[in-house]
Structure 1
Amino acid sequence: MNTEKRRQILERLRENNPHPETELNFSSPFELLVAVTLSAQATDVSVNKATDKLFPVANTAQAIAALGVEGLKQYIKTIGLYNNKAINVVKACEILVEKYDGEVPEDREALEALPGVGRKTANVVLNTAFGWPTIAVDTHIDRVSNRTKFAIGKNVVEVEKKLLKVVPAEFKVDVHHWLILHGRYTCIARKPRCGSCIIEDLCEYKDKVYPED
């Protein structure tokens, strides 16, 4: 895909959604960190249902650490892999309290050192909480990037590197949200909704699907 076509795609996505936001509910960097950690292999809807009950009770590292693993499980047991997630979140909270006075560090290395926090989660926190021009690549973004030929890569790290290279600076802060929402609601996995896609004419996917197909 050439540079001009990529720019047109980004401009259309921006025009359609000038101020994109995550669908996870949060009101602080800490709440976002917890929500993103819980969202691995789970839907944002399921995470929001759990954190809507959790955060009014415990929305600081100190409070969740005090809840402990068993206490936290009671709030997140409807989320997949909740046992491991509870262990990781509590351990992460204990580290935040011990090393950072309970605050979320605005530092990639420090974030990735927390239990349950990988590169994608760190990217989301740095981008959404702190406004960094990072691009977190999940399955949706990986699919959209490869399917459209916007940024081709064999894995999420390759796609991330390609996106960072080809996305102009003015779009970098928001492109993560645009692509994930596009993958979640339009360029879906099994049967993409090409007939209602705002970038359909720019997309280089060869097997487009339309309502009459």
Structure 2
Amino acid sequence: MNKEKRLQILTRLRDNNPNPTTELEFSTPFELLIAVLLSAQATDVSVNKATAKLYPVANTPQAILDLGLDKLKDYIKTIGLFNTKAVNTIKTCQMLVDKHNGEVPEDRAALEALPGVGRKTANVVLNTAFGWPTIAVDTHIDRVSNRTKFAPGKNVKEVEEKLLKVVPKEFKVDVHHWLILHGRYTCVARKPKCGSCIIEDLCEFKDKTE
């Protein structure tokens, strides 16, 4: 895909959604961090339902530590892999208290050192909570980038590197959200909704649907 076509795609996505954000509900960097940690292999809807009950009771590292593992599990047991996620959440909260005065660090290495937090989660927090021009590549973004030929890559790391290279600076902060929403609602996995896609004429996918 050439530079001009990419620019047209980004411009249309921006015009359609000028202020995109995550569908996870949060009010602080810590709430976002925990929501993203809980969202692995789970839907944002299921995470939001759980955190809507959890956060009014405990929405700081110390408050969750005070809650304890068993009670935390009760709040998040409707989310997939909740046992492992509860353990990682407690460990993460302990590390935030011990090493970062209970605050979420605005630092990639420090974030990736937290239990259960990988590169993708760190990218989401840096981008959404702190406004960094990072691009967290999940299955939706990987699919859209490869299917459209916007930023093809053999794995999520390659796709991330390609996106960081080809996306102009003015679009970098928001492109993560545009692509994930496009993949979630339009360029869906089984049968993309090409007929209602705002970038269909620019997309280089060969097997377009009606």
TM-score, with normalisation over the residues of structure 2?
1.00
1:165 correspondence with 2:165: yes
What's the counterpart of residue 146 of structure 1?
146
Instruction: Tell me, in whole angstroms, the C-alpha distance in 2 between the residues paired with 1:65 and 1:178.
Output: 35
Instruction: Tell me, in whole angstroms, the C-alpha distance in 2 between the residues paired with 1:69 and 1:191.
Output: 41
- CA deviation profile, 1:23-47 (whole Å, cap 9, x unmatched): 0000000000000000000000000
Aligned pair count reads 210
What's the counterpart of residue 42 of structure 1?
42
What's the counterpart of residue 32 of structure 1?
32
> Aligned AA for 2:133?
P
- CA deviation profile, 1:150-183 (whole Å, cap 9, x unmatched): 0010100000000000000000000000000000
Aligned-pair identity (%): 81
Shift of 1:195: 0.1
Shift of 1:203: 0.1
Shift of 1:69: 1.4
What's the counterpart of residue 185 of structure 2?
185
Instruction: Tell me, in whole angstroms, the C-alpha distance in 1 between the residues paired with 2:189 and 2:118.
Output: 24
Shift of 1:65: 1.3
Shift of 1:191: 0.4
Q: Which stretches in structure 1 are left out of the alignment for 5+ residues? A: none
What's the counterpart of residue 73 of structure 2?
73
Shift of 1:66: 1.4
> Aligned AA for 1:7?
L
Shift of 1:71: 1.4
Instruction: Tell me, in whole angstroms, the C-alpha distance in 2 between the residues paired with 1:104 and 1:207.
Output: 44
Shift of 1:67: 1.4
Cα RMSD over matched residues?
0.4
Instruction: Tell me, in whole angstroms, the C-alpha distance in 1 between the residues paired with 2:97 and 2:32.
Output: 17
What's the counterpart of residue 10 of structure 1?
10
Q: Which runs of 4+ in 1 moved over 6 A?
A: none
Instruction: Tell me, in whole angstroms, the C-alpha distance in 2 between the residues paired with 1:68 and 1:123.
Output: 28
TM-score, with normalisation over the residues of structure 1?
0.98
What's the counterpart of residue 82 of structure 2?
82
Instruction: Tell me, in whole angstroms, the C-alpha distance in 1 between the residues paired with 2:67 and 2:115.
Output: 17
Shift of 1:9: 0.1
Shift of 1:73: 0.2
SS at match of 1:202: coil
Q: Which stretches in structure 2 are left out of the alignment for 5+ residues? A: none
What's the counterpart of residue 55 of structure 1?
55
Instruction: Tell me, in whole angstroms, the C-alpha distance in 1 between the residues paired with 2:71 and 2:105.
Output: 25
- CA deviation profile, 1:70-128 (whole Å, cap 9, x unmatched): 11100000000000000000000000000111000000000000000000000000000
SS at match of 1:104: coil
Instruction: Tell me, in whole angstroms, the C-alpha distance in 2 between the residues paired with 1:21 and 1:117.
Output: 20
